[in-house]
Amino acid sequence: MATKSHRGLGKGLQALIPEETRPENKEDDSKKLRIVPLSSIEPNPDQPRKHFDQEALEELSKSIQEHGIIQPLVVRPIDQNRFQLVVGERRWRASHLAGLESVPVVVRDWDDQKTAEISLIENIQRRDLNPLEEALAFRSLLNDFHLTQEQLAVRVGKSRSYITNSLRLLQLPVKLQQYLVDAVLTMGHAKAILALQNQQDQNDLADEVIDKGLNVRQTEELVKCWNQPMQSVTLVQETQQQVASTNQEPLANHQANLQQVPVIRHTKKTILFSSDEQPKTTKVDSATQSALEANPEDHAVTEMAERLRSWLKTAVKIKSQGQQGHIEISFYSHEDLQRIIDSLMLQDNRY
């Protein structure tokens, strides 16, 4: 497994904490280090992290029971005897589980904006946030403190493009946002899926990615296939007549066979129909239509590739020269290959 890098964080937390309040300033820290009742600390309602692993918290609580809290919590004062938690919510929660009555804290006089920034960056540096939590935190900082994306990028040590791509995750359907929270999909998967404009397509493709266990690169290829412009789907009888007029009898025979393959399509522009139904047409530009009418053989090959793609639910390319050529069928795992082979063998047994 690749090790995690923090290079994208720039100066990170150090850039935001004033020099006089940095942890390495021992004298200042000693003056602000206090032991306070655990009950006097309130959680931050704007904490970016919303999900905490219960099992990990229980393990941490056992460690705290044995060794105590090694790293103090960071808080800011609410009033003379009340504090709001800024950094260390896992330790705060685990301390409750461990039954502690008091905990060590470092008190910081930070305003709302500084508190939000520190809380976010601390979570980013620890890699504690899932992609959706991070996106929500970015949006909150932008809206609450009227920052530009460029300003936010500088403050949290990320590139502007990273901020932009993160915010785009909030455009995903709720179902896919939950996939991110559950770590079923990664930010890379989500970024690829967002290339689809229709949310139903996004949902369908995400399910296919999960079912097939596709990585990000494979997902990007699948999106390209999904977004491929649809060619005009004409009546099979008309296509057969066009092919016959070019004296390509073998091609016409294959076209007739493919008529019996159930066509199930997955893009917004396609129509569900079976072998005994009349397929509807989709609009194409005049140049494409003219090319198809001038080359009925190409039209037939294109339609066959589309039928195979819809039937096998994967990318299919047919490359032909005259009466010869070859078919390329993409698969993404051994299981996917077996599924395709089973589909082909099942179809073969029908004849």
| Local structure of 265: helix, strand or coil | coil
Domains and CATH numbers, the chain: 9-155 (3.90.1530.10), 172-227 (no CATH), 236-348 (no CATH)
Q: Which of 59, 66, 89, 306 is catalytic?
A: 89
Question: Using CA atoms in the order 242, 244, 249, 254, what is the torsion angle rounded to 10 degrees?
Answer: 40
CA–CA separation, 225 and 208 (whole Å): 13
Q: CA torsion angle for 112, 116, 122, 127 (degrees, to 10)?
A: 170
Q: Determine if the pTM surpasses 0.75.
A: no
Q: Is 89 a catalytic residue?
A: yes
The burial class, CB within 10 Å (0-12 / 13-18 / 19+), for 242 is buried
Mean of the per-residue pLDDT values of the chain = 73
Residue pLDDT, tens place only, 151-172: 989 888 889 999 999 999 999 9
Query: Scanning the structure block, which residue is given the tokens 């294959």?
Result: 254
pLDDT digits (tens, 9 = 90+) for 82-134: 999 998 888 898 999 999 999 999 999 898 888 888 888 777 766 678 889 88
What are the Cα distances from residue 85, in Å, to 74, 140, 312? 6, 18, 54
